[in-house]
Structure 1
Amino acid sequence: MLLNLAVQWDSSTVESLSDCGAITMSSVAADITIPADSFQLGRVVAGTDYRIELTQFVPTGSTFVPYFWADAPDLAAFEDAVENEDRVASLERVDVGTSGTLYRIEWETEIDGLLKEIDDQDLHIKEAMGTEETWRFELRGRDHETLSSFQQFLNECDVPNTVERVWNPNESRNNPYGMTAKQREALELAFEEGYFAVPRETSLSELAEKMGITRQSFSRRIARGVNTLLSNSIMAESK
């Protein structure tokens, strides 16, 4: 399931995030969702029951050759549907793994505008996953102007797009789960003192006293920390 948060991704929004330290000018990442029929690969596999993860694409002359993992209940039907598309020159099964089947697809002559624009803007696709209705792209760029230019391209092409979040990937390496320092400190203390053990070895009051805050404040802090941790780990993997 993909989030559908009404976040506007334009220059003013990203600049305000930069001003408050949410991102840096040297590196920026964004999650964006678009309808499946907004680009060539999405249109080609429309009408099939599938889940696709785009792994990479390389320019070949005037076209782009994507490699993608596909998970479909009927692979034969999926392959027939894709191969029968006029826009597809060939579909090659490259590998089979636990997460699905790896394919290499070649186009006839039509250039995929969305993938070409991603390449022209020097954006990197960290991850791209799609279903029959929606595709989610995790894009990395050198600065916020690059990402804003890409969204402007989508808007000019009348492609509906929703930005789920914008963040600094460099900061994410040090804090991959997005918790604040105080939330992390509270969770670490709770874990070390046995608050999550069965049976429980300490209480909220005792932990709050160790941190020098009220029981209510400590309770809110670990609740928000757990919510952030789960949202950016287990729940993020299930989307």
Structure 2
Amino acid sequence: MVVIVRGTVPSSEFALRHTLEAVPNVEVEIERIVSTSEHSAMPLSWVRGGEREATATALENDPSVEDATLLADFDDEWLYRMEWVDHVKFILQMVTGADATVLDAYGSGDRWMLRAMYPDRDALSAVDEFRADHGLTFDVESVRRLDGDPSGRFGLTAGQYEALTTAAERGFFEVPRGITLQELAEELGISHQALSERIRRGTDALIDDTLLIKPPP
């Protein structure tokens, strides 16, 4: 059974500790991580919030970074392809040892927040054993099973998933709307208020699960 885990890791045990300490307000958001070997990983990383030259210098001097190549410069944020080395034991064990997929990772200050998908509970247990054996920290905030229902992939209840997908299919989110809330509620066989709550709570859960891996401002 596939599981999705959300949790936090101290930056001192993960990656870019030097950069996060050296540049005030810098934020790093990982778009994708691939392993290049059992000793290194290569993430695509959005870096923002810091002063441009100070950030580049900090990355150059960061012991967890073997190489940082600037791919795109958008004035106030920059896309880097980095190579992380042995310092990043935890993430390497997740990716190479447990076949986990890192869905989101956000680093700021003294910690990283991440969301990872494991192929099964055994893989999660193996990573937890590795963490304990090496004295590493991973504070788990939530564990969610994917039981075949597509709603679980995004943290939705079955009712919220049905409400949102049906609303989208019937043009509820279009401008102008293709269907009213009352008409949609009647089609789903629930009250106007129940549908309104499902759409609002489902939208909130969807945004939280897909966009807000980092804490909201």
* Both structures adopt the same fold (TM-score exceeding 0.5): yes
State which of 133, 154, 178 in structure 1 corresponds to 2:110: 133
Tell me how far apart the structure 2 counterparts of residues 122 and 235 of structure 1 sit (CA, whole Å).
21
Q: Structure 1: which 5+ runs fail to align?
A: 1-24
Q: How far did 1:42 drift?
A: 3.6
Q: How far did 1:174 drift?
A: 8.9
Alignment of structure 1 residues 1-239 onto 2, 5 Å: 25=1, 27-39=2-14, 41-47=15-21, 48=23, 49-54=25-30, 55-60=32-37, 63-69=39-45, 70-85=47-62, 87=63, 90-96=66-72, 98=74, 100-105=78-83, 107=85, 110-118=86-94, 119-156=96-133, 157-168=135-146, 171-172=149-150, 176=154, 178-181=156-159, 184-185=162-163, 188=166, 215=191, 218-233=192-207, 236-238=210-212, 239=214
Q: Which moved more, 1:114-123 or 1:163-172?
A: 163-172
Larger Rg, first or second structure (1 or 2): 1
Is the CA contact 2:64–2:88 (under 8 Å) kept in the aligned structure 1?
no
RMSD of the alignment, in Å?
A: 4.0
Q: How far did 1:177 drift?
A: 6.5
TM score, norm. by length of structure 2? 0.69
Tell me how far apart the structure 2 counterparts of residues 113 and 128 of structure 1 sit (CA, whole Å).
15
Q: How far did 1:29 drift?
A: 2.4
How many residues of Structure 1 are paired with residues of Structure 2 in the alignment?
204
Tell me how far apart the structure 2 counterparts of residues 84 and 189 of structure 1 sit (CA, whole Å).
51
Q: Which moved more, 1:131-140 or 1:168-177?
A: 168-177
Is the CA contact 1:177–1:233 (under 8 Å) kept in the aligned structure 2?
no
SS of 2:7's equivalent in the other structure is: strand
Q: Structure 2: which 5+ runs fail to align?
A: none
Tell me how far apart the structure 2 counterparts of residues 103 and 178 of structure 1 sit (CA, whole Å).
33
Cα distance change on mapping 1:160 and 1:141 into 2, 3 Å:
closer
Is the CA contact 2:6–2:142 (under 8 Å) kept in the aligned structure 1?
yes
Cα distance change on mapping 1:68 and 1:29 into 2, 3 Å:
same
Q: How far did 1:96 drift?
A: 0.6
Please state which structure has a larger fraction of its residues in strand: 2
Is the CA contact 2:4–2:146 (under 8 Å) kept in the aligned structure 1?
yes
